[in-house]
Chain A
Amino acid sequence: MKVVIVGCGRVGSMLALDLDAAGHEVTIIDERVSAFNRLGDGYNGNMVVGTGIDESVLRRAGIEDADCFCAVTNGDNRNIMAAQVAKVVFEVPRVITRIYDPIREETYREFGMETICSTTIVSSMISTYFTTGSNKAHVEPPPAVVEAQR
């Protein structure tokens, strides 16, 4: 699968390394070149410097024949805009948007977008850990990520 990821922070870089290791064709976009340091030496995908809401930047990242698009910058509105450009302008088949604000996440899910709210997920996991004492939610980072960030 061809995947375009916007935002090379902790989530974006981990996702890129994971999908790259799984054999997908990954292109990751970030405004800062230094953000790509998170990917380490083992990353085989592409990197594009620019803002993920700019159509020309997205074109350079190969969005026109992408199968999947993930917006995971640290700005909710930026993710929302980038994802909608991917979905509406470029008609990418799967578009996934990370949104911190639960209310906004619900709204844009109603508007027909595929959204993930890390705030509600983490909050409910901590709550479960607190009440049951078992940390079932704990997930080891993928080996490719451990390798890259060592």
Chain B
Amino acid sequence: MSNGLNALERPYLVIIGGGKVGFYLARHLIERDYEVTLVEKDAARAEWIEHQMGSVSVMVGDGDEMAFLATTGIERAGVVIACTGDDEDNLVACQLAKGKFGVPRTIARVNNPVNVHAFTALGIDVPVSATELLMGLIESEIAGSDAVRGVAVKSSGANLVDVAMPEVARLVGRKLSEVGLPAGDLVVCIVRAGEPVLPSPDEVIQASDELIVYSRKLDIEGVREALTS
């Protein structure tokens, strides 16, 4: 529910790590009128960023050093975003932000996708794996007509999965009520010729439909297979 930001105030964000991700993120968020402090450990890099952006507050220091973090005003931040290239550093920065400075929401870049599970288990609110996102996008491009994309639903850990029906899909010509989805999963929308269609049980699935499915299982491929093969 809460995204850690009070809509009435100009939100304050602390970004840890001034690499490509941190730099462009900071620039983007400043354009959207967020108050941003960017933490970068390399002094030369920090100076370069300051020169590029002018208005941003860049502080030189380690995002996992308590004493330094205290100087960034982190305790009033609504969100801390750790996006260095080291997963263990991102984890510790977020845990300190939350555990010692009471930051309500932490977002961490996960460099090695295998660490997404650990980050979730260890209390990071939003672990973001660029590799997983890229893999999903690229896969959907090479998979062609039965492309699948998954979007995580925050409150339940479920996914919204977009499944395009190829001509041969076994469900084409059948009613929505005949789709054998696992209990708790649901077709929430049919996209037909670019327009959303309310998914009533009697709706007959057509060849070029896209089904948006709410799926509890993290197995996006499994949903795709169940619906198309």
Contact = CB atoms under 8 A, between A and B. Distances in A.
B95 interface: yes
Contacts of B66: 103-104, 107
Given A88-B121, A103-B66, A77 B88 contact: yes
Interface of B: 64-67, 86-89, 91-92, 95-96, 99-100, 112, 114-115, 117-118, 121-122
B132 to A, nearest CB: 15
A80 B122 CA distance: 11
Given A81-B92, A89-B118, A107 B87 contact: no
Given A54-B114, A56-B114, A107 B100 contact: yes
Contacts of A78: 88
The prevalent SS among residues of B at the interface is helix
Contacts, number: 55
Contact-residue size bin, chain A (C-beta under 8 Å from the other chain): 20 to 34
Contact of A104 (B64, B87, B112): B64
B121 A53 contact: no
Given A54-B112, A107-B100, A85 B88 contact: no
23 contacts: A54-B114, A54-B115, A55-B117, A56-B114, A76-B64, A76-B92, A77-B86, A77-B92, A78-B88, A80-B91, A80-B92, A81-B92, A81-B118, A81-B122, A84-B91, A84-B118, A84-B122, A89-B117, A103-B66, A104-B64, A107-B66, A110-B99, A111-B99
